[in-house]
Amino acid sequence: MPVRPGGLTPYFSSMKTHFVERAYQIVVRHMEDESFDVADFCHHMAVSRTQLHRKLKEEKNLSATRFINHVRIEEAKDQLRNTSLSISEIGYACGFRHISTFNRVFRESVGMTPSDYRDKYTNGSEPQR
């Protein structure tokens, strides 16, 4: 399932560097690829693992793995608010191989389960960031 235009804009609208913009676009392009990992990310960015980690940590205070997960979770939040897809379908569409991993990462990032998030934000109210 492709990412809808504007689906991830709020968090990333404050991007200032070409590096982070490119990183974001690469993760979005590989959103559904559950095997996309840091090694693939480095390859597509044409930088070493150390360089990728240092730059993302410096600019977004996120490791490469957390950056990938953050982009995926932001898309999942958008889909939970705006589609009727099942939580499993959303998890798989956002690149999570196992729904248990999706649920764990989502809960760690957002502070609630995907089901709770959907219940809270499908009534038209906008989440606070």
Task: List, for residues 72-89, the tens digit of each pLDDT value.
Answer: 999 999 999 999 999 999
pTM score above 0.85: no
CA dist 61 and 88 (Å) reads 29
Closest CA to 67 of 5, 22, 112, 18: 22
pLDDT score of 122: 84
Structure letter (DSSP) for residue 96: -
Fold of 9-121: Arc Repressor Mutant, subunit A (1.10.10)
The domains of the chain are located at 9-121
Q: Is the pLDDT of residue 101 over 90?
A: yes
